Amino acid sequence: MNKGRRLVLKVALLLWLPLLATLLGGAIKPYYGGEAVIRLNEPTSFHLNTANYSNLIFSSLIYESFFYLKKDGEITSNVFREYRYDAAVRTLFLSVKDNLSFSNGKPLTAKNIQVSLKVFMGSDLITASRLSKAVKGIRIGEGQVAIELLADNPDIVSMLTAPELVVLAEDEQSFSGPFYPQEWEKGRSLILNSNPFYAGGRTYLDRVRVTFTEGQAPDLFLAGPGQFKDNFLEFDSGIYQNIYLCFLQGDIGQNTKVALYSLLQRFNEATGFKYRGLNALTADEESPVSIRIKALTPQKTASILKYSEIKLYALSSLSYLEKDLNAFLKSSNLKIEMLFVDDSQFMAFLDSAAIKYVLIDKIFQKKAPAEEKISRILKETSFNQFNAKYLRMLSELDEARFSNSQELLTEQIARISEAIISDGFIFPLFQKNYALYVSRSLPSLEVDYYGRPLLQKVGKANE
């Protein structure tokens, strides 16, 4: 049986999923109603933003993915009635379910799928550029989207499971996800109502309250692993968050870079090593290169930074550092000012010479291949210093990937890591591992491959 045929069979199973779900309720019908409280970082807008884990979760509540990748590798979709890859014409056919609507009742059609796919392919993401390179054209017909490929690739669907590939509407008031925004009390909470037109079938919950403060005990939140075991179910999120110190201008002296690095290491020490030290660009366990930057003594650090007036920018996704870091910097008597900038605005600041030092974070899937991660780091953190040398390195990495030689691949990853570090535009600082904690009052919650909680079939007992 060829791969195309296998896909069709999978689709046949997918078609029955809603019906199977029908029956999973048991003799006692499931209860519709109630509210779940989720604690996340406050978003800056309702635009799609998956730059960090908190935003990734938030986006998954209001935007529907083309496809879901489960932890066991199963691929499912709520939007497509069927998908079929025809190897003869190198085309993936996606059949959109009939009568779908966005949250405000406006029709969700094949045209929306086509536009959403093009927006994704135009984004600055490695998965998007890979897909963009593979696609020759996208056509739409009656309820169908045809993605024609440049070369035969029966696994094309797996490229469409990226969490950033979501169904977008033409206007800002329409949402495709299981919930839609209802009321936003800035700085406190955001109420999301159940989307009555959700393609996967209306959620059991009537509402999700996203809180941004510590006050109300949430049903779902993120924290370091191994805590809260008594009252919450702990899920391995399957991701980690790396924090890097980046230098955006080429005129920064090595001493200053290392002094700032040393200062931030000492900040971690002062917090009782809240964050795990990172000695690699990806993860210590998988990197062929161990990066050891010798920290300077406090005296040396102080003498180097004493006369500098440093503006240390940080992405707003790192705002949880603000309180501790500001207090630490204040106690160091150095003229270092912390400034937080929104993820979506950050790219616009890049052309400004004013930004020299920036703390950024990157979320990685633990299971993603190391070459994919290193490629992403090189592309997404070299900013305006990306040059022909890096482009060549990425091409060589691609070649190594297709050579089927693990040795060659490891060697190329090591070469890129060394080049990045010696060029000095990025220093790895810390790694944060996340667990997703779910209240025991919310059973049946699943987490997908990307660590996103799937709230569709989560219900509360009759209240």
Binding stretches for another protein (CB under 8 A): 16, 18-23, 25-32, 78, 97-101, 105, 107, 196-202, 204, 456-457, 462
Q: Are 68 and 181 in contact (CB under 8 A)?
A: no
Closer residue to another protein, CB minimum distance, 77 or 237? 77
Q: Are 420 and 387 in contact (CB under 8 A)?
A: no
Beta bridge partners of 183: 191
**Number of other CB atoms surrounding residue 238 within 10 Å:** 19
Minimum Å distance from CB 441 to another protein?
Answer: 18
- Coil, strand or helix at 450: coil
Minimum Å distance from CB 98 to another protein?
Answer: 7
Closer residue to another protein, CB minimum distance, 34 or 453? 34
Minimum Å distance from CB 11 to another protein?
Answer: 16
Q: Position 38: which residue type?
A: I
Closer residue to another protein, CB minimum distance, 2 or 462? 462
Closer residue to another protein, CB minimum distance, 104 or 153? 104
Joined together, the tokens standing for residue 87 give 């190897």
CA–CA gap between residue 457 and residue 203 (Å, rounded): 6
Give the burial class of 290: count Cβ atoms within 10 A of its Cβ; 0-12 exposed, 13-18 middle, 19 or more buried: exposed
Closer residue to another protein, CB minimum distance, 200 or 453? 200
Minimum Å distance from CB 206 to another protein?
Answer: 10
Minimum Å distance from CB 321 to another protein?
Answer: 41
Rg (C-alpha) for the chain, rounded Å, is 23
Listing DSSP states for 402-434 in one string gives HTT-HHHHHHHHHHHHHHHHHHTSEEEEEEEEE
Closer residue to another protein, CB minimum distance, 106 or 130? 106
Minimum Å distance from CB 252 to another protein?
Answer: 54
Q: Are 189 and 212 in contact (CB under 8 A)?
A: yes
